[in-house]
Amino acid sequence: MRRLYRSQSNKRLGGVLGGIAQYFGVDPSVVRLVFIILLVVTSIFPMALIYGAAYLLIPEEKGGVRDDD
């Protein structure tokens, strides 16, 4: 079973976008580019709020290894 985690190995700020890229199996640069485009289009605040919520809600990988219970 796949689980969504904040990435330890592929992070720039909090690892949220790297974790989303790992979960969906896409290049992290694509996820970051889409996020930046949405950030600009939505006047920054909504996407920044979503990113902050995701940072708080998505658990972090433990030492680069996923904790699949």
pLDDT score at 65? 54
Between 57 and 69, whose confidence is greater? 57
Domain ranges of the chain: 1-61
pLDDT score at 34? 96
Residue pLDDT, tens place only, 3-55: 999 999 888 899 999 999 999 999 999 999 999 999 999 999 999 999 999 99
Sequence-separated (6 or more) residues with CB below 8 Å from residue 19: 4, 5, 6, 7, 10, 58, 61
- Residue 66, pLDDT > 90, answer no
Give the DSSP per-residue string, 4-50: --B-SSS-SSSSHHHHHHHHHT--HHHHHHHHHHHHHHTTSHHHHHH
pLDDT score at 69? 46
- 61 in Cβ contact with 11 (< 8 Å): no
